[in-house]
């Protein structure tokens, strides 16, 4: 056997061949712009290029040509041995001393040599087996597609008509078609053409085309996932702009991309959480705005957005709407809320109750028994805002705190007398030494009795002191406010409706009442007794529907209005009707000594601003 030629190391082995192929592609890319043909390319570069096979739109593989191998009678045996060893080592085509180039050169020299033919056939089988592995690995390693085309270039040269080669090239072609479709899909995706509406030139259509050609193609599967993510991202962007209708639309389109997976369901959950957080944020921002001046308009803007993005009947929307409604009518309070306020000099002011806003018909028509023209014409009065009202009349103790803090001297104190009830005669008489510290009969008054012997100006001075102490606006109620709070929704002639008062309704003139000396009222409610003669401790009787005590009994009360003989030209908004410098003020509400006629809801009386007696006190209101 002649000596075998030594195995040579070639820089163009498999790695070298790949590098050479890459260099050929690079040279092609550098030598000719895409729109140039070989005829128009500069220089001779195009002529120097090897023929190429296009793998895809982004890469090419040169046509493989077997290296020249010199074969003669002297080296043929050695080359056979070298070819067999290369085949055994799996070195198939990377250089001129690999199996396929050697067997092809030997076959040209000895076309009938059975050993050579068998070796070349085994080499072809090994080549196709390697090609199958490359195709199988394309999904995990896309670079394997280039390897498969390098193998295909060799197989076409070795045995272009072999059925095995044709079958394998057919499988490679399917992979190519799928890759081409996926590539078009990726480019469409990059251009923002997702194809969510079934467009044939959209990414989704291209990826599905790839999967129809090659089911489970990883590149196409990943492309569909990317398209789905793109639609979900559009939904998230829409949600970020508070357009959840559009977000739902994009999610619906995304759901059709890969319906077998729960990716969109997870996205729905994320966006639902995002929506819930946004709804809660709008509610909170709206509520915070209500605490600031002009904040109602801001809160309404938040509510408008909230109503647009929140699901129907969302609790947050309902809450903010209610809070805005409350703030519009009650500021930071709620109807029925009771509160007191700290005084700057220590202690707390009178207990207040927030009464609801609303409307009522003020006055009495001519058919009401005991009514007068002073109570007409009747008129509708509406209050668009609630009001905080003292739960009961100002007490002696509360008034004492004011006098102590300010050294204020009341009208009765300065002039040295007031009008009291005289038990011996049963009449109201003037008595010296009587002032706010005295009860209805002139004796020292307990701190829990309503203060009497105070003028309208004294009452206003107390309200102003409360304003100074709290920084809030305290005042006497208007006449309309007083009748509204007294009626508390009752349209009848009396606060409780019609007829005599129910048990525990208040401190009125009842036929069953008896003075310390055994006197009884000549004009009184039949079959009614309240156990008191003179003012009772405040809050001793049942509160009305608004939670207020003694509006129609105990003591009558000063209001802010100047006296007018009727309601013609009276303010329509229920505010106090005041003429600068007026000397007569209105007294409202029955007292412990008022006749049934004077206990009616519409009853009113004009009295000099300096009047003081045992029947008239006052209560304050605070604007909210």
The CA-to-CA distance between both ends of the chain, in Å, stands at 119
Domain contains 174: no
Domain contains 540: yes
Residue 131 host element (H or E): helix 114-137
pLDDT band at 332 (very low <50, low <70, confident <90, very high): confident
CA-to-CA distance for 146 and 283, rounded, in angstroms? 59
- Mean pLDDT for 321-337 is 91
Same domain, 135 and 194: no
- Mean pLDDT for 322-326 is 91
Q: Is the pLDDT score of 541 beyond 60? A: yes
Total domains in the chain come to: 4
Region of residue 403 (phi > 0: left; psi between -120 and 50: alpha; otherwise: beta) = alpha
CA-to-CA distance for 306 and 295, rounded, in angstroms? 16
List of E strands, 187-237: none
The answer to whether 618 and 466 have CB atoms below 8 angstroms apart is: no
Domain with 58 in it? 14-160
Tokens encoding 41: 């390319």
Q: Is the pLDDT score of 48 beyond 70? A: no
Alpha helices in 191-262 (DSSP H): 203-213, 218-240, 244-255
Q: Is the pLDDT score of 20 beyond 50? A: no
CATH (domain of 529): 3.90.1580.10
Instruction: State the Rg of the chain over Cα.
Output: 52
Domain contains 1: no
Tokens encoding 551: 């509006």
pLDDT band at 56 (very low <50, low <70, confident <90, very high): low
Residue 427 host element (H or E): strand 427-432
Q: Report pLDDT digits (tens) over 440-484.
A: 999 999 999 999 999 999 999 999 999 999 999 999 999 999 999
| Cβ count near 137 (within 10 Å) | 15
Same domain, 548 and 432: yes
Packing angle of the helix pair 295-309, 263-289 (nearest 10 deg): 160
State residue 199's pLDDT score. Answer: 84
State residue 62's pLDDT score. Answer: 78
In total, the chain counts a number of residues equal to: 624
Same domain, 488 and 446: yes
Same domain, 92 and 215: no
Domain contains 171: no
Same domain, 53 and 96: yes
State residue 572's pLDDT score. Answer: 87
Q: Is the peptide bond before 582 cis (omega within 30 degrees of 0)?
A: no
Q: Report pLDDT digits (tens) over 502-518.
A: 999 999 999 999 999 99
Residue with tokens 């156990």: 531
Q: What is the DSSP letter of 597?
A: G
Domain contains 59: yes
Q: 465-474 burial by CB neighbour count: b if 16+ within 10 A, else e?
A: bbbebbeeeb
Tokens encoding 466: 């409360």
| Cβ count near 222 (within 10 Å) | 14
Q: Report pLDDT digits (tens) over 263-306.
A: 999 999 999 999 999 999 999 999 999 988 889 999 999 999 99
Same domain, 419 and 381: yes
| Global confidence as pTM | 0.65
Q: Is the pLDDT score of 164 beyond 70? A: yes
Task: Please report how many Cα atoms fall inside a 13 Å half-sphere around the Cα of residue 268, on the Cβ side.
Answer: 13
Q: Is the peptide bond before 125 cis (omega within 30 degrees of 0)?
A: no
Percent of the chain at pLDDT > 70 equals 90
Tokens encoding 498: 């019609």
The answer to whether 617 and 509 have CB atoms below 8 angstroms apart is: no
CA-to-CA distance for 100 and 103, rounded, in angstroms? 5
The answer to whether 120 and 104 have CB atoms below 8 angstroms apart is: yes
Same domain, 523 and 547: yes
Domain contains 582: yes
Q: Name the residue with higher pLDDT: 246 or 47.
A: 246
CA-to-CA distance for 478 and 457, rounded, in angstroms? 15
Domain contains 343: no
Same domain, 359 and 465: yes
The answer to whether 551 and 531 have CB atoms below 8 angstroms apart is: no
Q: Is the pLDDT score of 16 beyond 50? A: no
Same domain, 295 and 363: no
Same domain, 306 and 427: no
CA-to-CA distance for 205 and 184, rounded, in angstroms? 10
111 CB-contact burial (10 Å; exposed 0-12 / middle 13-18 / buried 19+): exposed
Q: Report pLDDT digits (tens) over 355-414.
A: 999 999 999 999 999 999 999 999 999 999 999 999 999 999 999 999 999 999 999 999
Kindly report which listed range (55-64, 210-219, 550-559) carries the lowest average pLDDT score: 55-64
Last residue of a domain, one of 295, 330, 365: 330
Mean pLDDT of the chain: 90
Same domain, 98 and 128: yes
Domain contains 346: no
Task: Give the SS3 label for residue 420.
Answer: strand
Same domain, 308 and 371: no
Last residue of a domain, one of 100, 133, 160: 160
Q: Is the pLDDT score of 116 beyond 50? A: yes
State residue 293's pLDDT score. Answer: 85
- Mean pLDDT for 590-609 is 98
């Amino acid at each position: 056997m002649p000596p075998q030629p030594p195995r040579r190391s070639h820089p163009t082995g498999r790695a070298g061949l790949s590098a050479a192929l890459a260099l050929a592609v690079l040279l092609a890319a550098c030598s000719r712009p895409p729109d140039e043909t070989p005829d128009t390319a500069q220089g001779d570069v195009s002529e120097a290029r090897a023929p190429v096979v296009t793998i895809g739109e982004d890469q090419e593989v040169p046509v493989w040509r077997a290296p020249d191998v010199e074969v003669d009678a002297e080296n043929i045996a050695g080359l056979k041995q070298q070819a067999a060893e290369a085949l055994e080592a799996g070195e198939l085509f990377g250089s001129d001393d690999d199996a396929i180039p050697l067997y092809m050169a030997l076959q040209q020299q000895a076309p009938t040599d059975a050993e050579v033919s068998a070796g070349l056939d085994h080499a072809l089988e090994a080549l196709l087996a390697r090609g199958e592995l490359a195709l199988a690995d394309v999904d995990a390693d896309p670079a394997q597609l280039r390897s498969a085309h390098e193998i295909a270039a060799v197989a076409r040269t070795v045995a272009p008509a072999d059925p095995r080669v044709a079958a394998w090239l057919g499988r490679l072609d399917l992979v190519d078609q799928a890759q081409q479709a996926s590539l078009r899909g990726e480019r469409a995706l990059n251009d923002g053409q997702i194809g969510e509406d079934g467009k044939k030139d959209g990414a989704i259509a291209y990826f599905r085309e790839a999967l129809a050609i090659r089911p489970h193609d990883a590149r196409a599967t990943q492309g569909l996932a990317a398209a789905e993510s793109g639609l979900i991202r559009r939904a998230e962007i829409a949600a970020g702009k508070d357009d959840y209708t559009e977000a739902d639309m994009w999610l619906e389109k995304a759901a059709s991309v890969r319906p077998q997976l729960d990716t969109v369901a997870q996205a729905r959950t994320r966006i639902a959480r995002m929506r819930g957080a946004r709804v809660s944020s709008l509610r909170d921002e709206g509520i915070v705005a209500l605490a600031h001046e002009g904040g109602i308009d801001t809160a309404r803007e938040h509510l408008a957005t909230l109503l647009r993005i929140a699901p129907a009947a969302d609790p947050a929307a309902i809450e903010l709407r209610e809070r805005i409604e409350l703030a519009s009518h009650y500021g930071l309070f709620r109807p029925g809320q009771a509160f007191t306020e700290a005084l700057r000099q220590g202690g707390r002011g009178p207990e207040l109750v927030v009464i609801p806003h609303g409307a009522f018909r003020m006055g009495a028509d001519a058919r009401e028994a005991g009514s007068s023209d002073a109570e007409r014409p009747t008129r509708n009065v509406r209050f668009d805002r609630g009001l905080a009202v003292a739960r009961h009349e100002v007490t002696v103790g509360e008034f004492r705190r004011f006098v102590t803090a300010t050294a204020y001297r009341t009208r009765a104190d300065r002039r040295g007398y007031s009008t009291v009830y005289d038990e011996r005669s049963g009449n109201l008489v003037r008595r010296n030494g009587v002032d706010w510290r005295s009860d209805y009969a002139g004796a020292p008054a307990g701190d829990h009795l309503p203060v009497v012997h105070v003028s309208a100006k004294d009452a206003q001075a107390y309200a102003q002191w409360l304003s100074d102490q709290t920084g809030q606006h305290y005042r006497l109620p208007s006449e309309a406010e007083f009748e509204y709070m007294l009626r508390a929704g009752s349209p009848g002639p009396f606060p409780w409706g019609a007829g005599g008062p129910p048990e525990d309704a208040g401190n009125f003139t009842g036929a069953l009442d008896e003075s310390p000396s055994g006197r009884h009222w000549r004009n009184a409610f039949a079959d009614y007794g309240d156990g008191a003669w003179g003012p009772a401790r405040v809050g001793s009787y049942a509160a009305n529907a608004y939670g207020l005590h003694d509006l129609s009994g105990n003591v009558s009360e000063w209001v802010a209005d100047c006296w007018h003989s009727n309601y013609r030209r009276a303010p329509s908004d229920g505010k106090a009707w005041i003429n600068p410098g007026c000397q007569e003020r209105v007294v409202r509400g029955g007292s412990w000594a008022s006749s049934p006629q004077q206990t009616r809801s519409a009853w009113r009386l004009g009295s000099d601003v300096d009047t003081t007696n045992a029947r008239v006190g006052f209560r304050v209101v605070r604007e909210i």
